Structure 1
């Protein structure tokens, strides 16, 4: 299975998605430092929100096979710059989280992720399980075509 690094602002669902991908019981846990869980690298949201800390994400991304930019479907804005994925040396995918929320706008979040350069975007809900299997299948695939994502 490919190792994935999850990058996004605080409370977008990185740790909850980590728990769902690993088949663990979902419980809130504030990530204070970069955590490596088997094939998932869970990063604190503050790293993506702070210019100085963001440099660490570049270094940690070298430990991953896939970079995931994450946005909640309830976001009012995207912190990812247009075409930011172009500078990555790994495939960059988008993950829209919290699609089960009442005020969710997954279409808007996906559009922002595509603007950031994500060619492949997954819609997931860690609570309902929607999209989790598709994401796991992608991570498990060993196709050389994935390298062009």
Structure 2
């Protein structure tokens, strides 16, 4: 499996996705520091939300094969600045999370647009709660 760096805002579903991949019980577990696993690097949301912490993401990305930018369908903020992924010099994909909470197709389209502006080469839509799209993303990362 490619080593993936998970980046996104606080509460967007990075850790829940990690728990799903490794077959762990899904519980809310606030990531306080960068956590390294065999095939994933889970980062605190603050590292994405505060530009002064981008250098920590950039250094950590050296150990990854791919950048996975994650954004919840419920978060309408512009989490990633345009071209965000280009600072890593790695391939990047976008993941729309919590799709089970989408109220309309426009919700999904808005987040997809944000992720594409940030430099995502491909977009995945997942719900770790219902498992929708999770297997497709896992297969891609393999």
TM-score, normalization by structure 1: 0.89
> Which position in structure 1 is the counterpart of 2:78?
78
Cα distance per residue 1:111-149 (max 9 Å; x no partner)? 110111112011011110011111111111xxxxxxxxx
CA distance in 1, matches of 2:5, 2:94: 11
Cα offset for 1:84?
2.1
CA distance in 2, matches of 1:98, 1:90: 25
Cα offset for 1:21?
1.4
CA distance in 2, matches of 1:10, 1:64: 21
Q: Which runs of 5+ in 2 are unaligned?
A: none
Matched, 1:62 2:62: yes
> Which position in structure 1 is the counterpart of 2:138?
136
CA distance in 2, matches of 1:84, 1:48: 10
Contact 2:73 2:98 (C-alpha < 8 Å) held by counterparts: yes
Matched positions, count: 140
Change (3 A) 1:87 1:54: closer
> Which position in structure 2 is the counterpart of 1:118?
120
TM-score, normalization by structure 2: 0.93
Contact 2:8 2:48 (C-alpha < 8 Å) held by counterparts: yes
SS at match of 1:100: helix
> Which position in structure 1 is the counterpart of 2:29?
29
Contact 1:74 1:103 (C-alpha < 8 Å) held by counterparts: no
Runs of 4+ in 1 over 4 A off after TM superposition: none
